[in-house]
Structure 1
Amino acid sequence: MSAPDPFLLELFREEMAAHSAVLTEGLLSLERQGGSRERIEPLMRAAHSIKGAARVVDLEPIVRVAHAMEDVLVAAGAGKATLDAGVIDVLLGALDWMNGLGAVADGEMGGWLREHGEEAADWVARVGADGGPAPAAVAMPAPDPAADAGIPSPAAVPIPPNILAEASPVSADTPDPPVSGETPSPAVPPSPPPAIMPEAPAGKAAEARPAGETAESAEAPIRITAETLTQMLAHAADMLLETRRIETLSRDYQSLKRMQRRLMAIVQVRADRHELKTGLTALGAAIDRHDQHMAEVATRATFLAERLHNLALRGRMRPFSDGVQGFPRMIRDLARQLGKPVEFDILGQGTLVDRDILSRLEAPLNHLLRNAVDHGLESPEARLAAGKTQVGHLRLEARHRSGRLLVSLADDGRGIDVDALRTKVVAKGLIAADMVVRLSSSELFDFLFLPGFSTRDEVTEISGRGVGLDVVQTMVHACGGSLQVSSEPGCGTRFELHLPVTRSVIRTLRVDVGGQAFAIPLARIDRAERRQSRLIETLNGNDYFVTDRGNIALISARRLLGLEEAPLLPEYQSLVLIGFEDRQYALEVDALRGECDMVVRPLDPRLGKVPNLSAVALDEQGQPVLILDADDLVRSADRLAGQLRAPRRRPAAAVKRRTRRILVVDDSITVREVERKLLENAGYDVDVAVDGVDGWNQLGQQQPYDLVVSDVDMPRMNGIELVTRIKSDPRLKVLPVVIVSYKDREEDRRRGMQAGADYYLTKSSFHDASLIQAVRDLIGGAHDV
């Protein structure tokens, strides 16, 4: 058998994927809700289309298996066979085998067919009701464990013998029975030469093309590379910007017209200047004509540019359903393997998502779903004992909210046992027992996302390896999103992934700070308002104002951005509320300039991570506008608020000695405060940083530090990476570093010392004399002598 043409094979793969989605979703639906002739018809057509397309590319094994599947579906549609769970298992297994063959590399297809072609006969026998054991698994490359760890193969459930005993054999050339009604209809026509399959609308994956509808009458997508689409989107964005400059030019015309009116008023006084008056009149008429024309051009150009930009942007968007098609099948197989009946719902399948973000979502959602079935949902017996139904419920939902993409996964299982989690954390030596009781639930949940952490004592094929949740957090942070976990014991757990809808255009709030223009992503703003300065109150040196949610701390944007403070307090203050539910700040800016869409341009990578900034954009005048990083602003506000709560100890002016400065870097606010207070009580001047990136940015400021105390596990940049950077920098390589980790791991100790750390303290050492002694050994007492 000769190898298929590579181009035709690629087209076949696309068509195979589309029909496989129809078959998989349809078979799972039949298993849940039972079958009717109308439900089976699209599956018959899908199997028939796979058979025809495979025949065109000369994949005879797939032709035979697809034809056997079609026979079963035709018999079921005629009421001569029953599609029970066992039959559906075999049909899904056959579909997996066909998809595996379609995934073989082009250059290896001929050899694969020669070596494994006989497996098709085994599958034909099983699907054709001859029974027998499952054929050998297809020898395919091992999947990436990070993206698909431990997904089980479909169980080999024996098919009842002779399910087609009462049905007449259907050969490859025998016309199909009538599809609907009592009047016989023509046989299903053979598939035309393969073409790129039109993409099914969201939520309609199981619906085949109506009979008689041709490919020309359907919406047929074209093939285009992601790079080309990205370039087109960039050009469309530039065009949109240029058309907005026309609006500026139109406003200039209006200004010119006002000048002309003033001149006419002057000329009216000097009637003897008739010639000048006539010329100005003609000028005014010309300005009116050009102004009207300019307005028409600007309106039309803006409309066309926005339409082009929206179409290009939509081209990068995919329905959420495209990224979750395989999950119902995975949940079904996993639930059967664990003996847990599960009802799985996917909502918002038509929600549009940037294709890059959608491709990154698959592996994290896979891990969350598997954990929900294995860890979250109880056994049927345990659910009945808890007063619940035997069937567990999982709900995956995607929707747009406040300009962001919200992907949530909720189960009605046992929830996260906070006390058991505390015990597990201490048992693993990750934190001291007297420290763990101080952690809030949200801080405690952070341990779930540590690499290698698992709440299971035993390792199974499904879970227990500690691989998974750290992948979720890494992906969310890489996309500029955030992750929230909430749980109620006995009621279930909910994960929320807050992600940008697209990474190219964002809706922003324009603000002025220190005479410069900035923009804040609107999705990260709770609200913006103006308040009278007399309503601002002060407590312990901190400004705040009272809202229905409690006291909100007031932080100066000028101070966060390192700009000169305003000399006078205005009568009204412009405030932007940013942050999270548990910690919010009112960012004081000079002025609120309104909302606008911004075409995002990344900062030059040579700059590294610039504190409090995420990107740059161009305004209507073509001037750059810096986009503020809302998460960075919150972290900076945390640090600034901490400094305000605990002012640095400054020696009296008459005392000629300097207080040594220490930078504490830790992402846990509890640990930061414990270390800060311990060191300040010893007389040292202490600053805090909320993670490695924040700490590195502070080390680049003017005033030098005498020592750094750092944790190991932190987002964005961990402690080992921070030490490596410090010791590689010519200015900082002599700076002593103490690593204090309450997560006691020998591997971290080894890596920390190899990176250049001067001390490595573990467990409870940092809240006794050991930390102070280590600091004194390295830099001496709190003051210069």
Structure 2
Amino acid sequence: MTPEQMRDASLLELFSLEAEAQTLVLSAGLLALERDPTQADYLESCMRAAHSLKGAARIVGVDAGVSVAHVMEDYLVSAQEGRLYLRPEHIDALLQGTDLLMRIATPSNAPAPADIDAYVVLMGRLLDHMAATGPMTPPMAELQLEPPTPKVEPPMSATNEAPPATPVEPALMAKRSTESGERVLRVTAERLNSLLDLSSKSLVETQRLKPHLATMQRLKRMQSNGLRALENLNVHLKDHALSLEAQEALGDARRLLAESQQLLAEKNAELDEFAWHASQRAQVLYDTALACRMRPFADVLSGQVRMVRDLGRDLGKQVRLEIEGDKTQVDRDVLEKLEAPLTHLLRNAVDHGIETREQRLLAGKPEEGLIRLRASHQAGLLVLELSDDGNGVDLEKLRRNIVERQLSPAETAAQLSEEELLTFLFLPGFSLRDSVTEVSGRGVGLDAVQHMVRQLRGAVVLEQTAGEGSRFHLQVPLTLSVVRSLVVEVGDEAYAFPLAHIERMCDLAPEDIVQVEGRQHFWHEGRHVGLVAASQLLHRPASQNSAQTLKVVVIREREAIYGVAVERFIGERTLVVLPLDERLGKVQDISAGALLDDGSVVLIVDVEDMLRSVDKLLNTGRLERIARHANQAVEAARKRILVVDDSLTVRELQRKLLLNRGYDVAVAVDGMDGWNALRSEDFDLLITDIDMPRMDGIELVSLLRRDNRLQSLPVMVVSYKDREEDRRRGLDAGADYYLAKASFHDDALLDAVVELIGGARA
């Protein structure tokens, strides 16, 4: 290809990007003008978009684009100058021109020259007629203008990015801009995935420094104790006559030990500072990489407002789509998978939900039907609510349809609740339409929506109010790259249950397990819930522990609900999803893998698959019973922890957390009170604040490290101060662990306690 050809190809590509951006501006502006033709700002933005496209088409030599954009610009200028009052027929003509411009910029879908000529001639005739008769122009139908095709959505870019909403010169399109003026470059999804994967691994690697630092602190304390022991030995040996060689050897040992301790202290401080900064930067890197995958929900809405409007007109209805929360951030992969189900639901709302003009007027409703789509974040999920003010679902017709299709006996169908009836609409091949149309009646729609939402690990629920409309509630993860999970232990291995599928978690006493029809159950929210062992489902060795209670995760998928018994709860974690190697195929009951903070591997449970496994075990009679441990276990000595904090709230919070985990806990109100408790009682761990009256935490730790009986006691500092110098002061004083209250949560404290002294039992 010659340089000239390369240059031309580049300009055509830029023109395509320009057209993609400006046709979206035109579509949005024209739909707004249809509701209120006097909005000067929308008239101005549409005129500028048409003008920019005309200039861009002229630069790249696309004459058809110049012609169409020019007549559209004249049309809009006439409206701006008050010579034309825009009516729905005029909006139809301008939208038809918008579609033509997008097709002109897409070589594979370019319109025929005759179509372009016909459009330009008819628009010109209208302008001539308007000049002769004044602003009160006749309807477009009198000029026999071809109606626009119902095709509504302009093609999205390869990366599904939202194009800019302001005019952009073609020469600048190599670096596109967002509404806020930030420059945006096109990046492949594979590179973004790779960046997120590397950043998550970097974050995990920095977390692995924490236990290493704790070990180094213990080593420093042990060496300090060794130096004190050597000093004590030196004092005792002063009363003995030592040879010159022995004295020199003792002096060398003292000097070398002191020098090594000084070096160890310096390197520990450097390593601690490096680890802190590395973890902070790794977290920022990970958050930034994750943010790169997030796009506003508006990206999936491109063309949907237009589609609803055009489909309504095609069906003889006047329908408007209102959108709230269009700036809600969602992972681009989720957005791509949401486009199809949302289109299904919107078309369903226009066709099934909104009544005809006559029916709405008879019911006392506005002539224009309204569909609302709301997007929001709730507990790490994207929550969508799509509602219409139509007639709702005819429950009696639905009941008759169920019986006619032999999906349920008439007696049973008569007793079905509204919620149970509505679930039939999601069955494959089910439709309330008696005849097939282009829009619906083929029995495909809601079942496809449910299938696609389930693929996103989400759920969809339908509600309705007779005569007032229907509401679809969708919940899907904000991202498929990250999943909030409960990590548990099964057979000495870590597994993660996505929180979206967890009903609750509980400790089940042996006496709460009952036998119903030969199977183990427990009572949960007014119903018996089947109990199964995670070890059997995941093919792990059964637990041999003698805990007084059983740890149970209650999982639910639609109507299916079971309690899954595990060995212990490790805690709630945000996991970066790592797909399994394709060569493994589908691993039973497992959807993906992830890495925990310490670098260990955790497998993410496929809850739907696991529920199918439970049903299979039940049907084959191979479901194993869980051994119920009697209260005969020998009570082991509980480990004791002293909590020192002058804040009653913090003190009680820590005390209750530790008590619930099985530790024996004593409290002290300040450093002096804590020091008195340490000298009079035995403890396995000290947890202390820094800023306290009478004696602060630094003084308390320093006293403890100078005491021969207490100097080896593990110490954790929990403080609001998270500056590097504060952390260093605490660790230099002799603390083994420093936890900032600013980032404090239950798991962080309990994990640190287990790391320092292990479980609650000796």
Q: Give the Cα–Cα distance (whole angstroms) in 2 for the partners of residues 547 and 78 of structure 1.
A: 70
Contact 1:91–1:127 at 8 Å: present in 2 too?
A: no
The alpha-carbon deviation at position 646 of structure 1 amounts to 11
Q: Give the Cα–Cα distance (whole angstroms) in 2 for the partners of residues 142 and 327 of structure 1.
A: 7
Q: Give the Cα–Cα distance (whole angstroms) in 1 for the partners of residues 102 and 11 of structure 2.
A: 16
Q: Give the Cα–Cα distance (whole angstroms) in 2 for the partners of residues 411 and 189 of structure 1.
A: 34
Contact 2:54–2:65 at 8 Å: present in 1 too?
A: yes
Q: What does the per-residue CA deviation read over 1:716-766, in whole Å, with 9 as the maximum and x for residues that have no partner?
A: xxxxxxxxxxxxxxxxxxxxxxxxxxxxxxxxxxxxxxxxxxxxxxxxxxx
The alpha-carbon deviation at position 96 of structure 1 amounts to 1.1
Structure 1 residues 345, 647: closer, same or farther in 2, change over 3 A? same
**Structure 1 counterpart of 2:479:** 502
Structure 1 residues 563, 235: closer, same or farther in 2, change over 3 A? closer
Match of 2:386 among 389, 401, 409: 409
Match of 1:56 among 46, 59, 63: 59
**Structure 2 counterpart of 1:225:** 188
Q: What does the per-residue CA deviation read over 1:696-735, in whole Å, with 9 as the maximum and x for residues that have no partner?
A: xxxxxxxxxxxxxxxxxxxxxxxxxxxxxxxxxxxxxxxx
1:423-438 equivalence runs, <5 A: 423-428=400-405
Match of 1:37 among 34, 37, 40: 40
Contact 1:415–1:493 at 8 Å: present in 2 too?
A: yes
Match of 2:213 among 238, 247, 250: 250
Q: What does the per-residue CA deviation read over 1:417-442, in whole Å, with 9 as the maximum and x for residues that have no partner?
A: 34322432443466665776687766
Contact 1:48–1:70 at 8 Å: present in 2 too?
A: yes
**Structure 2 counterpart of 1:572:** 549
1:381-460 equivalence runs, <5 A: 381-386=358-363, 388-428=365-405, 445=422, 447-460=424-437
Structure 1 residues 463, 540: closer, same or farther in 2, change over 3 A? closer
Match of 1:195 among 146, 161, 173: 173
Mean Cα deviation higher: 467-476 or 537-546? 537-546
Q: Give the Cα–Cα distance (whole angstroms) in 1 for the partners of residues 40 and 466 of structure 2.
A: 44
Measured on the aligned residues, the alpha-carbon RMSD in Å equals: 3.7
The alpha-carbon deviation at position 551 of structure 1 amounts to 5.5
Match of 1:240 among 197, 203, 208: 203
TM normalised by structure 1 equals 0.67
Structure 1 residues 222, 544: closer, same or farther in 2, change over 3 A? same
Contact 1:525–1:577 at 8 Å: present in 2 too?
A: yes
The alpha-carbon deviation at position 345 of structure 1 amounts to 1.4
The alpha-carbon deviation at position 313 of structure 1 amounts to 2.1
Match of 1:338 among 315, 321, 324: 315
**Structure 1 counterpart of 2:641:** none
Pairing 1:16–2:22 present: no
Contact 2:393–2:464 at 8 Å: present in 1 too?
A: yes
The alpha-carbon deviation at position 535 of structure 1 amounts to 5.4
Q: Give the Cα–Cα distance (whole angstroms) in 2 for the partners of residues 507 and 139 of structure 1.
A: 42
Structure 1 residues 548, 278: closer, same or farther in 2, change over 3 A? farther
Unaligned runs of 5+ in 2: 130-139, 156-165, 238-249, 626-762
**Structure 2 counterpart of 1:484:** 461
Q: Give the Cα–Cα distance (whole angstroms) in 2 for the partners of residues 438 and 569 of structure 1.
A: 47
Q: Give the Cα–Cα distance (whole angstroms) in 1 for the partners of residues 83 and 8 of structure 2.
A: 39
The alpha-carbon deviation at position 572 of structure 1 amounts to 3.4
The alpha-carbon deviation at position 616 of structure 1 amounts to 1.2
Please state whether the residue corresponding to 2:78 is helix, strand or coil: helix
The alpha-carbon deviation at position 488 of structure 1 amounts to 3.9
Q: Give the Cα–Cα distance (whole angstroms) in 2 for the partners of residues 330 and 57 of structure 1.
A: 30
Matched to 1:236, the amino acid is S
Structure 1 residues 335, 502: closer, same or farther in 2, change over 3 A? same
Matched to 1:233, the amino acid is L
Structure 1 residues 123, 610: closer, same or farther in 2, change over 3 A? farther
**Structure 2 counterpart of 1:128:** 127
Matched to 1:609, the amino acid is K
Match of 2:76 among 48, 73, 77: 73
1:171-190 equivalence runs, <5 A: none
Larger radius of gyration: 2
Contact 1:61–1:120 at 8 Å: present in 2 too?
A: no
Please state whether the residue corresponding to 1:9 is helix, strand or coil: helix
Mean Cα deviation higher: 590-599 or 553-562? 553-562
Q: Give the Cα–Cα distance (whole angstroms) in 2 for the partners of residues 440 and 607 of structure 1.
A: 44
**Structure 2 counterpart of 1:749:** none
Contact 2:427–2:447 at 8 Å: present in 1 too?
A: yes
Q: Give the Cα–Cα distance (whole angstroms) in 2 for the partners of residues 591 and 141 of structure 1.
A: 54
**Structure 1 counterpart of 2:102:** 99
Q: Give the Cα–Cα distance (whole angstroms) in 1 for the partners of residues 429 and 174 of structure 2.
A: 43
Please state whether the residue corresponding to 1:601 is helix, strand or coil: coil
Mean Cα deviation higher: 437-446 or 559-568? 437-446
The alpha-carbon deviation at position 232 of structure 1 amounts to 2.2
Question: Aligned residue pairs: how many?
Answer: 585
Match of 1:326 among 300, 303, 315: 303
Mean Cα deviation higher: 242-251 or 507-516? 242-251
Q: Percent identity?
A: 39
**Structure 2 counterpart of 1:347:** 324
Q: What does the per-residue CA deviation read over 1:530-585, in whole Å, with 9 as the maximum and x for residues that have no partner?
A: 45555556655555555666665544323433434435652233333321575544
Contact 1:368–1:469 at 8 Å: present in 2 too?
A: yes
Structure 1 residues 335, 316: closer, same or farther in 2, change over 3 A? same
The alpha-carbon deviation at position 293 of structure 1 amounts to 1.5
Q: What does the per-residue CA deviation read over 1:344-391, in whole Å, with 9 as the maximum and x for residues that have no partner?
A: 211221112222221222222112111111112223443455454444
Q: Give the Cα–Cα distance (whole angstroms) in 2 for the partners of residues 299 and 400 of structure 1.
A: 31
Q: What does the per-residue CA deviation read over 1:261-283, in whole Å, with 9 as the maximum and x for residues that have no partner?
A: 34234324322534323322222
Please state whether the residue corresponding to 1:520 is helix, strand or coil: strand
Q: Give the Cα–Cα distance (whole angstroms) in 1 for the partners of residues 342 and 153 of structure 2.
A: 20
Contact 2:297–2:326 at 8 Å: present in 1 too?
A: yes
Contact 1:196–1:220 at 8 Å: present in 2 too?
A: no
Contact 1:19–1:50 at 8 Å: present in 2 too?
A: yes
Structure 1 residues 647, 301: closer, same or farther in 2, change over 3 A? closer
Contact 2:15–2:170 at 8 Å: present in 1 too?
A: no
Contact 1:484–1:497 at 8 Å: present in 2 too?
A: yes
Please state whether the residue corresponding to 1:304 is helix, strand or coil: helix
Q: Give the Cα–Cα distance (whole angstroms) in 2 for the partners of residues 354 and 36 of structure 1.
A: 34
The alpha-carbon deviation at position 341 of structure 1 amounts to 3.2
The alpha-carbon deviation at position 126 of structure 1 amounts to 5.9
Matched to 2:375, the amino acid is A
Match of 1:511 among 479, 484, 488: 488
Contact 1:319–1:350 at 8 Å: present in 2 too?
A: yes
Q: Give the Cα–Cα distance (whole angstroms) in 2 for the partners of residues 434 and 295 of structure 1.
A: 72
Q: Give the Cα–Cα distance (whole angstroms) in 2 for the partners of residues 240 and 142 of structure 1.
A: 41
Q: Per residue, is there more helix in 1 or in 2?
A: 2
**Structure 2 counterpart of 1:183:** none
1:758-777 equivalence runs, <5 A: none
Contact 1:508–1:596 at 8 Å: present in 2 too?
A: yes
Match of 2:337 among 329, 353, 360: 360
Structure 1 residues 78, 141: closer, same or farther in 2, change over 3 A? closer
Contact 2:532–2:624 at 8 Å: present in 1 too?
A: no
**Structure 2 counterpart of 1:467:** 444
Matched to 1:421, the amino acid is L
Pairing 1:521–2:532 present: no
Q: Give the Cα–Cα distance (whole angstroms) in 2 for the partners of residues 43 and 282 of structure 1.
A: 77
Q: Give the Cα–Cα distance (whole angstroms) in 2 for the partners of residues 596 and 443 of structure 1.
A: 35
Q: Give the Cα–Cα distance (whole angstroms) in 2 for the partners of residues 530 and 268 of structure 1.
A: 52
**Structure 1 counterpart of 2:677:** none
1:544-555 equivalence runs, <5 A: 552-555=529-532
Q: Give the Cα–Cα distance (whole angstroms) in 2 for the partners of residues 3 and 432 of structure 1.
A: 70
Q: Give the Cα–Cα distance (whole angstroms) in 1 for the partners of residues 176 and 428 of structure 2.
A: 41
Structure 1 residues 608, 516: closer, same or farther in 2, change over 3 A? same
Q: Give the Cα–Cα distance (whole angstroms) in 2 for the partners of residues 490 and 647 of structure 1.
A: 51
Q: Give the Cα–Cα distance (whole angstroms) in 1 for the partners of residues 194 and 125 of structure 2.
A: 50
Q: What does the per-residue CA deviation read over 1:40-96, in whole Å, with 9 as the maximum and x for residues that have no partner?
A: 222222222112211111112212222222223233233333222222121111111
The alpha-carbon deviation at position 238 of structure 1 amounts to 2.4
Q: Give the Cα–Cα distance (whole angstroms) in 1 for the partners of residues 33 and 117 of structure 2.
A: 30
